[in-house]
Structure 1
Amino acid sequence: MADAASRLTALAEESLSQPLPVRIRAWDGSESGPPGAPVLVIRRRRALRRLLWKPGELGLARAWVAGDIDIEGDLYEALGRLAGLLWDRDPEDSVHPVRDPRARAFARGLLRIAGPWPPPAPPGEEVRRRSGPLHTRRRDRQAVSHHYDVGNDFYALVLGPSLVYSCAYWRDGGTLEEAQRDKLDLVCRKLALREGDRLLDVGCGWGSMAIHAARHHGARVTGITLSREQAALARKRVADEGLTDRVEIRVQDYRDVDDGPYDAISSIGMAEHVGSVRYREYADDLYALLKPGGRLLNHQIARRPEKDEDAYRIDAFIDAYVFPDGELAPLGRTLTLLEEAGFEARDVESLREHYALTLRRWVANLEQHWERAVRATSPGRARVWRLYMAASALSFEHNQIGVNQILAVRPTDDGGSGMPLRARRWTASAGDA
């Protein structure tokens, strides 16, 4: 096929009624598009067949994960340029594959270029088709395993020595490890942890929060996770720190914890897995596990409210390749459900810009250690994480999603909170004084 890039560019621009913001390089070596722009490399014609069979985001995701397409140049710039065409379009402006003649013409043109059928099989990194009710214990274990049991060595390369897989807390300058340490300490100070306090760390990951709370604040910590790989490394790290008398790591569902009351509960980057159908149950369970006057620190990504909440759809790429069954809720909805469970919300802090900075550092780590990361997991999995983290960084930067720390209290029987009158004393650490 001669000059496939020009044919594809013309076809896309006719369908979109606007110029393409990136160059295209096709499998035949041809190029077309604005000079100096990031290049969308289409390595194989089967990428087009993926789009024909799964139009939109999922088809593009399959092509990306399989290595059929790539970006040459600045990934963030390319994603920013493409966002207006792929993710940020008003649904009313989108072409309908049946009713809109532009969509039919685009499909016919793509079919002539795409080559012979049948459609390619999805990449092996894609989640297999799921059935049954959402957020049963079994289904949640499978979802968590898909996301976290991809190799501790892989995560160590991406996250760095801190092994913290949630938003860091940045000051001017500083390393990722320092920012993650400051985040863990911020959580501990918001929870007002004291020597001997019992802390439940829900979704404990590789044990970083548990270790920090025990080492620096004297807490006795129970960390729970559904990931066996996480738990194994967390236990080793606890033992290496000499903290086995203060920290216990369990492979356990939050719904099965029955050894309260705890003085405090931290839930950092875990509640996104709970789902709307279970969130009130999650809030009720944590409330029951706290003693009166105990504090909850819920650190959770939030999406912006939709005009029509009933029409909200989970991101196809995220659901298929990153967080199966994961759901983001608006901040207001989360606060309402926590209050319905009996909590009193005492403080909300947005860390949106902090997460954008954190994600860019993770992407840089992955790119720096790319060959080792591929060997530690798979080429497709590494490509998933690079795209997911870069796109997420842009989403935080553009205020499309946010992340918030909610400090809530289980009131005492007489309505007391135990909170100081100047609640934000924790924002000034020793290093800031």
Structure 2
Amino acid sequence: MTDAAGRLSHMVKQALGRPLPLRLRAWDGSEAGPSTGPVLVIRDRRALHRLAWKPGELGLARAWVAGEIDIEGDLYEGLARISGLVWDRGESETKRPALLRTLTALRDPRNLRLAADVLALAGPALPPAPPREEAVSHRGPLHSLRRDRHAISHHYDVGNDFYSLVLGPSMVYSCAYWEDPSSTLEDAQHAKLDLICRKLGLKPGQRLLDVGCGWGSMVLHAVQHYGVEAVGVTISEEQAALARKRLAEAGCTDRAEIRVQDYREIDDGPFDAISSIGMAEHVGSAQYRAYARILHSLLKPGGRLLNHQIARRPLKNEDAYEIDEFIDRYVFPDGELAPVATTAALLEDAGFEVRDVEALREHYALTLRAWVTNLENHWSEATRLTTPGRARVWRLYMAASALAFEQNNIGVNQILAVRTTTAGNAKMPPTRGQWLYSTTQD
């Protein structure tokens, strides 16, 4: 078999009506396409088997995780060129790559010739087993306690040392706040945590609940800089172990506690303030109303909630929303995104008054690029601490997510909400500047 790249390029052009916008190199050493820019490398024809047996996003993802395809050169430019092959928003309820549409269409009887050509190039074979990094089949009802623990473990219990390479010393796994684009990642994460503390109006002696506390960074910041007493909850055993270690090393165990506990199991309110930072994406649409009501019930009258959450764009037909197969199988099993308006409405339905919404979309793009740089700079160690497949998952999803934020396909927002008193008092200063731009309490 010779000139596999040329044959594949011809198939793509036939299917899309235009050439693939980046160079292609196949397993036989042949190349085709533009002479400059990134190169899409197909290292093994098993990648074609995956696409033949599972056309679409999941087949591509499995080939990437298995190391059978890769992008040489600028990863972001390569992904951007591929993502440029999209349906027009006016023609489709969802923005999906036309390349994936074409791959999925291989099963259509009208495309038997194209499917036959792909199979002829791939050669006869049974479908390859999915890479072991793929999440095992879901267990139990969607967003049950047991299933959520399993989903969270898949993503977060992959080694604290691995996460420290990616996240850096701050150990914060959510969008940073880049007051200056030239800031370090650590400074930007410190600024984000401080912004949240100021929005919550934290004061010495208050009681803070951090839902989905991760490795304890928000709890540590609030205790050390604002003098609060804090409870952090997570359902990741590995996160909790490191968070407790960090609290002990900082001498904060008398003022802070880390629990392995689901938000639905918390029964020792009320709290003066609640932070939920990058956790609500795991809640799911079916449970979100209950999530909002539980947090409302855990707050004192006049208490504030800071809900920091990724949002997707609204669809003309919300019933057309589809879960991203790559993200669901390899990154965040059972994760769901909702438009920011939906989130705000559900918080208000639970009894909250929404007082402030701040969009941080561009900030998350910068954060993700910093994480990708950390991973690439420590690639050998990262693959040793986990697996090469796991490292490839993280590199792809973080780089693709950075582009998604830059292209305004997804966003991230901080919603500040208040549980007002029975008289409707929010117990907030009269101007935004008075509660947002006050200095730290340390």
TM-score when scaled to structure 2?
Answer: 0.95
Whole-Å separation in 1 of the counterparts to 2:299 and 2:438: 26
Amino acid at match of 1:327: E
Match 1:183 to one of 192, 198, 201: 192
Is it true that 1:144 corresponds to 2:152 in the alignment? yes
Q: Between 302-311 and 420-429, report the one with greater CA deviation.
A: 420-429
Question: For the Cα contact (< 8 Å) 1:298–1:405, is it kept in 2?
Answer: yes
Counterpart in the other structure of 1:323:
332
Q: Percent identity?
A: 68
> SS in structure 1 opposite 2:427?
coil
Is it true that 1:126 corresponds to 2:134 in the alignment? yes
Whole-Å separation in 1 of the counterparts to 2:5 and 2:184: 42
Unmatched runs of 5 consecutive residues or more in structure 2: none
Query: Deviation of residue 98 (structure 1)?
Result: 4.7
Counterpart in the other structure of 1:209:
218
Query: Deviation of residue 87 (structure 1)?
Result: 8.0
> SS in structure 2 opposite 1:258?
coil
Query: Deviation of residue 12 (structure 1)?
Result: 1.2
Query: Deviation of residue 104 (structure 1)?
Result: 2.9
Counterpart in the other structure of 1:391:
400
> SS in structure 2 opposite 1:389?
helix
Query: Deviation of residue 15 (structure 1)?
Result: 1.0
Question: For the Cα contact (< 8 Å) 1:12–1:106, is it kept in 2?
Answer: no
Counterpart in the other structure of 2:227:
218
Counterpart in the other structure of 2:56:
56
Whole-Å separation in 2 of the counterparts to 1:87 and 1:51: 20
Match 1:253 to one of 262, 268, 274: 262
Query: Deviation of residue 75 (structure 1)?
Result: 0.4
Question: For the Cα contact (< 8 Å) 1:168–1:355, is it kept in 2?
Answer: yes
> SS in structure 2 opposite 1:85?
coil
Q: Deviations over 1:274-327 (max 9, x none)?
A: 000000000010000000000000000000001110110000100000000000
Question: For the Cα contact (< 8 Å) 1:57–1:86, is it kept in 2?
Answer: no
Amino acid at match of 1:233: L
1:275-354 to 2 correspondences below 5 Å: 275-354=284-363
Whole-Å separation in 2 of the counterparts to 1:99 and 1:121: 24
TM-score when scaled to structure 1?
Answer: 0.97
Q: Deviations over 1:337-374 (max 9, x none)?
A: 00000000000000000000000000000000000111
> SS in structure 2 opposite 1:353?
helix
Query: Deviation of residue 129 (structure 1)?
Result: 1.8
Whole-Å separation in 1 of the counterparts to 2:406 and 2:119: 37
Query: Deviation of residue 254 (structure 1)?
Result: 0.2
Question: For the Cα contact (< 8 Å) 1:9–1:24, is it kept in 2?
Answer: yes
CA 1:334–1:8: 2 relative to 1, 3 Å: same
Query: Deviation of residue 106 (structure 1)?
Result: 2.2
Amino acid at match of 1:107: A
Q: How many residues align?
A: 430
Whole-Å separation in 2 of the counterparts to 1:264 and 1:131: 34
Question: For the Cα contact (< 8 Å) 2:215–2:240, is it kept in 1?
Answer: yes
Question: For the Cα contact (< 8 Å) 1:125–1:321, is it kept in 2?
Answer: yes
Counterpart in the other structure of 1:78:
78
Is it true that 1:105 corresponds to 2:105 in the alignment? no
Query: Deviation of residue 11 (structure 1)?
Result: 1.1
> SS in structure 1 opposite 2:85?
helix
Question: For the Cα contact (< 8 Å) 1:203–1:225, is it kept in 2?
Answer: yes
Is it true that 1:403 corresponds to 2:412 in the alignment? yes
